[in-house]
Structure 1
Amino acid sequence: MQILRTLAAALVAAASMGAQATTLIHNVSGYQTTDRALVRFNALAFDRGKVLASGDFQQLNRQYPQAQKIDAGGKTLLPGLIDAHGHMLGLGQLNRMLDLRDQSLDSARVSIKQYAKQLAPGEWLLGRGWNQVTWPGKQFPTRTQLDTLDIDHPIWLRRVDGHAGWANSKTLRLAGIDRHTAAPEGGEILRDASGEPTGILIDNAMGLLQRVIPKPTLAQDKKSLQDAFAQALAVGLTSVHDAGINEQTLQAYRELARENAIPLRMYPMLSVNSHNYAKLLRAGHIGSPSERLYMRSIKLSADGALGSRGAALLEPYHDRPQEKGLLLYPEAEMLSLLKLASDNQFQINVHAIGDRANHIVLNHLETLHKASSQKDHRHRVEHAQVLQVKDIPRFQRLNLIASMQPTHATSDKNMAGARLGEARLTGAYAWQTLLKQGTPIAAGSDFPVEPANPLFGLHAAVTRRDRQGAPERGWRAAEAMSLEQALRAFTLDAAYASHQEMVIGNLTPGKFADFILLDRDIFAIDPQAIWRAQVLETWVEGEKVYTRDH
């Protein structure tokens, strides 16, 4: 009898908790995209982490009279934003590195000198973010400019795009790089007139040096990821596609998942360079669409980046006629790595910047498709940045997703024309052209290459202007997205790109209650002001996980 009374009491308590668990947040300007249209609402009901309904407050109040009510004070409510291409470990590690973003050469050298003072003897001075394209003369820096700072530390500073690095002479000696060192295939060692390395290594040549840098421990990787989680939530990201992780980072993710220490949704892509790549593929997918950790994709980089002239082009660089960029893998090896992923039922996500790299990747994906339909895998081209116009329809024919980063266009606008010439810009950063043919765009930022804030991406997508407002009419503005298209690219289509559109991407009944509150209505303001919007609250599964300090 006591057992029955206890069970009855537990059931009553559970029923009471269920009634109290329903929450109705109202007095919002709510927006979400569906398969049909942009939908507005002023109230959202959710229970046990899942959406019950969105719509009119009076109606939902009658439907859920016992719900706990939250008056949002007129704030704007959006589905949680999704970054379809970021680098979580890099974002977290930046907290323990020198950040040179937006600095001139002179200010960078001052920052390097100051930063060195806090290092222990023999410690590496690591950093990233420099961009010679923004400096007078636009020339790559040299080891001499580091050596003259008289710093007794090995120095290694990655370019903003991560595809080139700048070293001092001490670092080159530690790595055994001298005038006799041959650059590996897919890499370049810049040299001066006498044949000596200048200190700049591009793409695969960076591996010659990076192998001598002390590797972070598993515990350090976990801490970096946790730091990145916090930064992501603070800018309104409730899901991130981590674009290329190695085996140790995967282990860090798995341990954090077991510890229930992943506060947002992570969709990592296994790097083809990972130790035990084939073994990990054979082990199969990790998690499911509804779990915080879900892995079913791989990442391969076909070429380098435009800013460091590593992007592989069909014709020479407009501003360097003797160069066509770099393919990071021989074509046959690239196809073999992609086929191994496809054969193990993994989605293929390939970094391709230049028109040659994109053309080759499309050829490989077409080869796989002819052998066996690839439609269900939802393969993606990461960046899809510079395309031959005649290659663009192949995205639709092959059912591919274009994973693109709007802020790349507004960061590159002053450099892309110089690198490519005007003719090749026709198929570059071609968002609207892709959308009009029915190709979904999964939007992201490529952080820490660009800032992680997705409001910056929404702004760039709509205006094709930088955050200072230039150019006034937008750069190649015909390719701009509407705000509805941009929101969908950062929500529903990004969710589709990770096979998760049934559980996240908008706030329809049954999906997770992942949403954010903004301080202003981005649909009602000057589009140039979108980037100034502040995330006030971030909610994941109906739980508030971030509140902005006022």
Structure 2
Amino acid sequence: MTTLLLGGRVYSAAMPDATAVAISDGPYGVVSWLGADDVGRRQFPDARVVDLDGGFVTPAFVDAHVHVTATGLAAVGLDLRAATSRDDVLRLVGDYARRQPDGLVWGHGWDESRWPDPTPPTTADLDGLLGNRPAYLARVDVHSAAASTALRAGVPGLTAATGHHDQLPVTADAHHLVRAAARAALTTAQRREARVAALDLAARSGIAAVHECAGPDIGGVDDWRELRALPHGVEVLGYWGEAVASAATARELTDDLGVHGLAGDLFVDGALGSRTAWLAGEYADAPGCVGNAYLDGDAVEAHLDACTEARITAGFHVIGDAAVTAVVDALARVVERHGAPAVARCGHRLEHLEMVSEAQAALLGSWGVIASVQPNFDALWGGSDGMYARRLGPQRAGRLNPLALLASQGVPLAFGSDTPVTGMNPWESVRAATTHHTPGSALSARAAFAAATRGAWRAGGVRDGVAGTLAPGAPASYAVWDVPGGLGALEVAAPADTVARWSTDPRSRIPALPRLAPDAPLPVCRQTVHRGVTIHG
């Protein structure tokens, strides 16, 4: 049986003017045809017809960097991203504690860099509000957290750990210890509710697959195993952030955990907001501080070498320029040993890659190393008055998240949200990439959309040439959207500060996308389908 969708608009480079698409039923749905409504009716007279009623059909999105359980905990619990001050955080915590009078208070998302008074919540603040109740409140970047005495008291070795402070939020090793204690206080039911909520949110957002960046210091092995066993229509591709030193260990670990690679959030450094990203020079707002190095060059090289020999994807969380240099230098040594083709076939990937030079980008492009990046970071923290400028000064901040540079040097791009750090709406990521704060760093909407669809599938090891597109033979993974202003509002646009590499004239047959200006309302997902199976709508 064939399903014929008509009466809308289909985003497809294979048929830019298509208003209809035919899907072949079977164990896995496949796109079998695209074209005009009347032709489709004649060609598939016995098809099941679905009237799109002006809907816009695109390939489903893939989020290339998520933390499913943490996202769900924020979605069903205490989300602090909207807090405007320390007092506002405490008000939200108090309201939540009254609604949920028992157990751990788990919150996420406060960001003091956006407050008029950048004073974070203290241990005394939480103790005065909650008494002897355990509380864990992660900063937005999840590289530091405020914690109550009741939670801290149950963490052996905390006071001796790097990053410990009695009153201020804990960072580095101290944060990892506190976070592990908070995770242990969650019940099985709480974790499952959170995961289902997060994956349901992904499906409602037009996302068919996510890359879970798991690891010992993220959610722990039990969290990953439980997520992997959870039945849900959204596909979960797992990466495990644990360093290895031999090919045999790499194979054993990936086989045991059922992950796609030893990559994702394998921390070389931390985050700029928490001042734990590893810098070559000191932070502008913290003299003498250069951040944290969690893996040295030798450990990075050993991991890359082992995974390359085992033909397994390796990768790292890498943000600061010193961290990027350590990884690129280690990659160069591994390329010298194994050859660039051997490195490229593994699909090694770097998460975030915020402070990369042109020379480094050229090397990464020549080695086929994938950049899994988060355009929303620039939207949140870029600009002359943003967190980046305060942490680094305007000159260094202006070089962060250079999307156009990476693309120009042939580095394959995959977009992710790093949810719960930023929101999961993929159109927000695409828009952020097209409206970059730094002149010359933005991408065209077409390139940004590709990074959130085809590029993200490629980063996950799917290199069949059609995944993430709507073309004959492609998997029927798609989303149907209501576009503000209707189909007539679709446009072909290029960044205002660059020369377009293709015509934006409608007659050029370049597929059009919704308007993505900063003030434009974004499309709303009506239906999400993954391999022919409806997972939302």
Short-chain TM bin: 0.7 to 0.9
Secondary structure at the aligned position of 2:164 is classed as: strand
CA distance in 2, matches of 1:294, 1:517: 30
Look up the SS of the partner of 1:528 in the other structure.
coil
> Structure 2 CA distance, aligned partners of 1:279 and 1:218?
30
Structure 1 residues 255, 177: CA separation in 2 closer, same or farther (over 3 Å shift)?
A: closer
Does structure 1 retain, via aligned residues, the 8 Å contact 2:404–2:440? Answer: yes
Secondary structure at the counterpart of residue 319 of structure 1? coil
Equivalent residue runs for 1:7-156 within 5 Å: 21-33=1-13, 39-48=16-25, 49-104=29-84, 105-120=86-101, 123-149=103-129, 151-156=131-136
Secondary structure in 2 aligned to 1:136? coil
Give me the identity figure in percent. Answer: 26
User: What is the CA-CA distance between 1:368 and the residue it aligns to?
Assistant: 1.9
1:235 partnered with 2:205: yes
Q: 1:334 to 1:512 in 2, by over 3 A?
A: same
> Aligned match of 2:450 in 488, 505, 508?
488
Displacement of 1:221? 4.1
Equivalences for 1:483-522 in 2 at 5 Å?
483-502=445-464, 504-520=467-483, 521=487, 522=490
Cα separation, 1, equivalents of 2:387 and 2:65: 22
3-state SS of the aligned residue for 1:267?
strand
Letter of the 1:46 counterpart: I
Conservation of the 8 A alpha-carbon contact between 2:372 and 2:413: yes
SS at match of 1:487: helix
Residues 1:349 and 2:321 are matched in the alignment: no
SS in 2 for 1:328: coil
Residue pair 1:30, 1:43 contacting (<8 A) in 2 also? yes
5+ residue gaps, structure 2, are: 491-512
Secondary structure of the structure 2 residue equivalent to 1:32: coil
Measured after TM superposition, the shift of residue 94 of structure 1 is 2.4
1:271 aligns with 2:249: no
Q: Counterparts of 1:511 and 1:51 in 2: how far apart (Å)?
A: 5
1:375 aligns with 2:344: yes
The match for 1:541 is 531
What per-residue deviation string (whole Å, max 9, x for no partner) do you get for residues 223-246 of structure 1?
432222111000110111112244
Contact 1:318 1:421 survives alignment (8 Å): yes
What is the identity, as a one-letter code, of the residue corresponding to 2:97?
A
1:382 Cα deviation (Å)? 0.5
Q: Which amino acid aligns with 1:235?
A: S
Cα distance in 1 between the residues matched to 2:281 and 2:355: 12
Counterpart of 1:201 in structure 2 is 170
Q: CA deviation at 1:428?
A: 1.3
2-side partners of 1:452 and 1:533: how far apart? 14
Distance in 1, Cα, partners of 2:399 & 2:17: 34
CA distance in 2, matches of 1:501, 1:61: 33
Structure 2 partner of 1:194: none
1:182 maps to 160
| Offset of residue 441 of structure 1 | 1.0
Deviates further, 293-302 or 406-415: 293-302
User: Residue 359 of structure 1 is aligned with which of 325, 328, 332?
Assistant: 325
CA RMSD of aligned residues (A): 2.6
Deviations 1:167-191 (A, max 9, x none): 123333333578xx3333xxx224x
The gaps in structure 1 that reach 5 residues or longer are 1-20, 191-196, 288-292, 465-474
Q: Residue 315 of structure 2: SS of its match in structure 1?
A: strand
Q: Alignment length, in residue pairs?
A: 492
Deviation at 1:452, TM superposition (A): 0.7
Question: Do 1:144 and 1:168's aligned partners in 2 also have CA atoms closer than 8 Å?
Answer: yes
In structure 2, C-alpha distance between the alignment counterparts of 1:531 and 1:400, rounded to whole Å: 34
Letter in 1 for 2:365: Q
Matched residues in 1 for 2:121 and 2:31: separation?
Answer: 53
Contact 2:228 2:236 in 1 (8 A): no
Matched-pair contact (CA < 8 Å) for 2:285–2:390: yes
Question: Larger radius of gyration, structure 1 or 2?
Answer: 1
Describe the shift of the 1:212–1:150 C-alpha distance in structure 2 as closer, same or farther (beyond 3 A). closer
1:318 aligned partner: 284
Whole-angstrom distance in 2 between the partners of 1:345 and 1:218: 35
The match for 2:263 is 298
Deviation of 1:140 after TM superposition, in Å, equals 3.2
1:156 & 1:278 partners in 2: Cα distance?
Answer: 37
Displacement of 1:531 after TM fit?
5.1
Q: What letter corresponds to residue 525 of structure 1 in structure 2? A: R
Deviation per CA, 1:179-218: give whole Å up to 9, x if none. Answer: xx3333xxx224xxxxxx2231112221232343325466
Aligned ranges 1:308-457 → 2 under 5 Å:
308-372=274-338, 373-413=342-382, 414-457=386-429
Distance 1:362 1:42 in 2: 46
Matched-pair contact (CA < 8 Å) for 1:268–1:297: no
**C-alpha distance after superposition, 1:77-118 (max 9, x if no partner):** 110011111111211232453211120221211111122224
Supply the distance in 2 between the matched residues of 1:361 and 1:404 (Cα, whole angstroms): 16
- Identify if the C-alpha distance between structure 1 residues 93 and 459 changes in structure 2 by more than 3 Å, giving closer, same or farther: same
Letter in 2 for 1:255: A
- Report how far residue 499 of structure 1 moved: 1.6
For the residues of structure 2 that align with 1:254 and 1:211, how far apart are their CA atoms? 20
User: Per-residue deviation at 1:119?
Assistant: 4.1
Partners of 1:247 and 1:136 in 2: how far apart?
Answer: 39
- Name 2:493's counterpart in structure 1: none
**Matched position secondary structure for 1:198:** coil
Which residue of 2 is the match for residue 477 of structure 1?
Answer: 439
Q: Which residue of 2 is the match for residue 7 of structure 1?
A: none
Residues 426/328 of structure 1: CA separation in 2 closer, same or farther (3 Å cut): same
Distance in 1, Cα, partners of 2:467 & 2:394: 40
Deviation at 1:285, TM superposition (A): 5.5
CA shift, 1:124, in A, is 1.9
Aligned twin of 1:4: none
Task: Give the distance between the partners of 1:337 and 1:24, measured in 2 at CA.
Answer: 48
Shift in CA distance, 43/462, structure 1 to aligned 2, threshold 3 Å: same
Q: Which residue matches 2:194?
A: 224
Q: Give the whole-Å Cα distance in 1 for the aligned partners of 2:207 and 2:77.
A: 23
Larger CA deviation: 201-210 vs 314-323: 201-210
Tell me if the contact between 2:241 and 2:316 (Cα under 8 Å) persists in the aligned partners.
Answer: no
Letter paired with 1:175: V
